[in-house]
Amino acid sequence: MHKKEIILITGVAGFIGFHICKKLLNESYKVIGIDNFNNYYDVKLKNSRIKELELISKSKNNTFICIECDLVENTKLNNIFEKYNPSIVINLAAQAGVRFSIDNPSAYIKSNLVGFSNLLECCRANKIKHLIYASSSSVYGGNTKIPFSEKDSVDHPVSLYAATKKSNELLAHTYSHIFGLSCTGLRFFTVYGPWGRPDMSPMIFTKSILSKKPLKIFNNGEMYRDFTYIDDVVEIIFRLLNKPASSDKSFNNKKPNPQSSWAPYKIFNIGNSKSVYLLDFIKCLEEEIGIKAIKDYVEMQPGDVKATEADTSEIESYVDFKPKTSLKKGIKNFYAWYKKYYK
């Protein structure tokens, strides 16, 4: 792809959207970012991310335009596509969070289903070369076979958030089949790092440890997560830009592989392929911060799962890259940013 072509990123003020945009601007790509700046978490953090991107864009003397727009605003979305004519779309806009979906289902239906279908329609109408979109490890739901593979069935979600992400994959496949839209879905596994979301465990844990407040530890600490450092995620997305999904010539309709298709469609796990015991993660944070956590052990929350671990063999061979940031280094980088940002 030529650097004069335009990449559109939805959810650009979000955690992953910000980091991929930063990488693209540093590589001299032109980026159109859209975000609805909703108040699911502190809007100041979202605005700070955008200011940072504007500074990079200015220093590199290249194009970065940020537009406030919700994916449900169909006319506005259409106008953006027609005006800027992007070649590649990276969709990271969504109503996030498993626990919030229990109390606010309508926010997920609106953003993750209506919004995503509007985006697919814009991609079709504007002949987008490649749509890369965020799915989630949550789609594995009630599965207990570890590690999770893209070839596993994901028909038993345990949260509405997971159900909407699984629906995104189904909608994308239909557009790939009917309209030949090249779609790559990414199932992210617990992404963490600088500029992270305040509702994610590293931020919650750090805040509790520093303020010496009890830290809620679900399922009495018997939790395992595949923590994936943000820079590794960005590197994978960057390598995927010029690898639009193509038809799987060896696809067998009698034994369908959920990871690929006869249509230009792919699904990948994006993880670290290591499951970390939650108490070990907290211990690593305690050592970095230099303060012991006050632990409050509680029951498992509805919609949560005990363990996640990604089989990442598919993406590693596809883009020739294996996540390499250690937990110790990732937490060190995260905490250095946290101290600086929150002073």
Point out which residues pair with 6 in neighbouring strands.
30
At 88 the pLDDT is 98
**In angstroms, rounded to a whole number, what is the distance separating the alpha carbons of residues 292 and 287?**
8
pLDDT in the model for residue 26? 95
The pLDDT, as a whole number, for residue 117 is 98
Task: Give the total residue count for the chain.
Answer: 343
Q: Is the dihedral of CA 340, 341, 342, 343 positive or negative?
A: positive
| Whole-number pLDDT of residue 104 | 80
Domain annotation for the chain: domains and CATH numbers: 6-196+228-272+309-323 (3.40.50.720)
Residue with the two structure tokens 């929150």: 342
- Could you say which of 133, 161, 175, 192 is catalytic? 161
Residue 161 bears catalytic tag: yes
Q: What is the pTM of this model?
A: 0.95
**Tokens 């993750």, residue located:** 112
Per-residue pLDDT of the chain in tens (343 residues, 90 and over written 9): 667 789 999 999 999 999 999 999 999 999 999 999 999 899 999 999 999 999 999 998 888 999 999 999 999 999 999 999 999 999 999 877 767 777 788 888 988 999 999 999 999 999 999 999 999 999 999 899 999 999 999 999 988 889 999 999 999 999 999 999 999 999 999 999 999 999 899 999 999 999 999 999 999 889 999 999 999 999 999 999 999 999 999 999 999 999 999 999 999 999 999 999 999 999 999 999 999 999 999 998 877 788 999 999 999 999 999 998 999 999 999 999 999 999 8
Q: How many other CB atoms are found less than 10 A from the CB of residue 52?
A: 14
